Amino acid sequence: MSTMLAIGGAVVVVVLWCLLAAVSGVLGDELKGWIAWATRRLVERAAARTTDPDHARDLRADFEAALQSPDHRPIWLLCQSTFVYRASARTQRGNTRFPAVAFFLRAILGLNLFVLVFYLGFVRGLLVLAALTIIYAWGAILRELSKPPRRQRP
Amino acid sequence: MSSGKEFSPQRMALLAHMLGDPAQQWFALGLAETVGVRSSTVYDALKAWTVKGWIEFGWEDIDPEVEGRPRRKLYRFSSDGAAMARTALDSHQQTLERAIRGQFQPNRPRLA
């Protein structure tokens, strides 16, 4: 009986191991595909944000070449694309061309809010405004958290 | 006077690695992986050093159709780029040494 149990246990372990190997391979390939997609998406957005067309072309070429190379590390590349994306966001914030665009976007947003309050009525309008304020504040908090810590004066 | 970013520890590590073999060619992501710094730092540094004339770039000599991937931008030191980089690093190191010596001088004059 104990021999049968041992053989049965070993068979179950082998079957489970094979199943796990098959599923992990499929899942791993699927995940790699999604990671590559996310990497390309971040690099595209970073390239779109930069005002230097040469740098945008370099970014696309470098990351595409890295993604196509057979020995690339998907997670490492995803991290690098995140860094490039965040750097481009910082550059964009410091760019003098974009405040004018931001001003017009805010003006359009303000107009929309006025229309919203006008049609929804005072209380419901206020509720929507409160919700939007919370969302905006949350975004501002997240942006603040993503900045490096300020240097403390001695 | 150099800015803080010009000789950040990451940039110094990058430059030290490149000066280890000045005749070699590098691509940005490869440098980031080898040295262990962020790719955004590498791109910024390479751009700044290209403007200074320390390094120059060219494109990888491959056929993208055959390789199935786009060409990489390759960077290498310009003819006197490595010497200029070494001089700048030396100057920065001397500044640091002076600062360290100044920090540990026992009889320095005190302000008010």
Tokens of A111: 């107009």
Cβ within 8 Å, pair B38-A83: yes
* Residue B30 clears pLDDT 50, i.e. is over it: yes
Residues in A 4-43 with any Cβ partner in B closer than 8 A: none
Nearest to A57 by CA among B97, B57, B111, B22: B57
Cβ contact, residue pair A58, B43, below 8 Å = yes
pLDDT at B84 over 50: yes
Q: What is the DSSP-derived secondary structure letter of residue B107?
A: T
Query: A34: distance to nearest CA of chain B, Å?
Result: 19
Q: What is the mean pLDDT of chain B?
A: 84
Q: How far apart are CA A19 and CA B100, in angstroms?
A: 62
Give contacts of B41 with chain A, Cβ < 8 Å: 83
Amino acid B20: pLDDT? 92
- Lowest model confidence (mean pLDDT) among A48-57, B51-60, B69-78, B95-104: B95-104
Three-state DSSP at A109 gives helix
CB–CB contact B70 A66 (8 Å): no
* Residue A114: both structure tokens together: 């006025």
Q: Which residues of A touch B69 (CB under 8 A)?
A: 64-65, 68-69
Give the confidence band of A108 by pLDDT, cuts at 50, 70, 90. confident
pLDDT digits 0-9 by tens, A2-16 = 788 788 888 888 888
Burial, B107: exposed, middle or buried (Cβ in 10 Å; 0-12, 13-18, 19+)? exposed
**How far, in Å, CA of A62 to CA of A68, rounded?**
10
- The rounded distance, in Å, linking the Cα atoms of B53 and B34 is 23
Check residue B36 and give its pLDDT.
92
Residue B74's region, left for phi above 0, alpha for psi from -120 to 50, else beta, is beta
Interchain proximity B40–A86, CB inside 8 Å: yes
- Cβ-Cβ contacts under 8 Å for A75 (sequence gap 6 or more): A35
ipTM value, please give it.
Answer: 0.73
CA distances from B9 to B12, B59, B99 (A): 5, 28, 16
